[in-house]
Amino acid sequence: MRKNIVAGNWKMNLDADEASQFALNFIKHKSSFPEDVDVIVCPPAVHLQDLADVFYDFNIGVGGQNCSVHSSGAYTGEISAGILKSVGASYVILGHSERREYFNESATQLAEKIKQALENKLIPIFCCGEPLSVRKENSHVAYVKQQLDEVFGELSQAQISQLIIAYEPIWAIGTGETASPQQAQEIHHEIRKVLNNYIGENADEISILYGGSVKPNNAKELFSEADIDGALVGGASLNPEDFLAIIKSF
Ligand code: PGA
């Protein structure tokens, strides 16, 4: 059975005081989390250790938002997958559209990052999704398939089988405009077909998350679709009550 997952992507938000305030408010509600949902928080990397310490007893996972293509060495400013693991991360978001766009991350680099993550026992949350211009041309399915093929082609079946996928249409990220449940389901289903080409029936075990303006008022409808196994949440993950309401939408 594939897992239901709600992951928060804090991006470059919340300083140390705000992060610990979040953690204290959030764990107060842990008893009301549904049992069958894995909850993950991906803060700025400097907060990982503190959050991992607080969240460990509550079975809340933490993850990085990126990792280096290298395992160690003279790469000023970079953080390796091994270092993320050593401070308590179990996950890492890779290929977020902001990283692809602002830091020019290529498919080859993303495949390397996935390999680094898996070698260090981090589960990658691998992101894909089309810009508005592509959606308007109605070529979003082909675009996303290509994003997946470019990276999956560099990976083994065993590696692909360990991924979490996040579909995040760029036009829905931070805009307040969510893909409709039907629009999201259409492409999640296509993503699962691509996975099936590479790993056969194991594709049914892969969690495919939707991301892009997921809020307490739209999560339930999204989660009711057959191939939407959870959410990657940006803005609403910064507020413990909103994040909790999304988790409880399962
Ligand atoms: P958003 O961000 O929920 O603020 O739209 C989602 C993301 O970028 O992961």
Q: Where are the domains of the chain?
A: 4-247
Q: What is the pLDDT of residue 135?
A: 95
Regions in the chain scoring below 50 on pLDDT = none
Distance from the first to the final alpha carbon of the chain = 15
Is the minimum distance from the CB of 234 to ligand 1 under 6 angstroms?
yes
Nearest-angstrom CA–CA distance, 170 and 125: 16
pLDDT at position 103, please? 97
Q: What mean pLDDT value characterizes the chain?
A: 97
Q: Which of 96, 98, 112, 188 is catalytic?
A: 96
Mutate to test the pocket of ligand 1, among 40, 99, 168, 249 (most ligand atoms within 8 A of CB): 168
What pLDDT, on a 0 to 100 scale, did the predictor assign at position 1? Answer: 82
Q: Has 119 been annotated as catalytic?
A: no
Fold of 4-247: TIM Barrel (3.20.20)
- Check if 168 is active-site: yes
Q: Closest ligand 1 atom, CA of 237? A: 3
pLDDT of residue 176: 87
Element (H or E) spanning 233, and its range? strand 230-233
Residue 169 is predicted with a pLDDT of 97
The per-residue pLDDT for 249 is 97
Choice from 6, 96, 213 to test ligand 1 binding pocket (greatest atom count within 8 A of CB): 213
pLDDT of residue 134: 96
Question: Residues 141, 98: contact at Cβ < 8 Å?
Answer: no
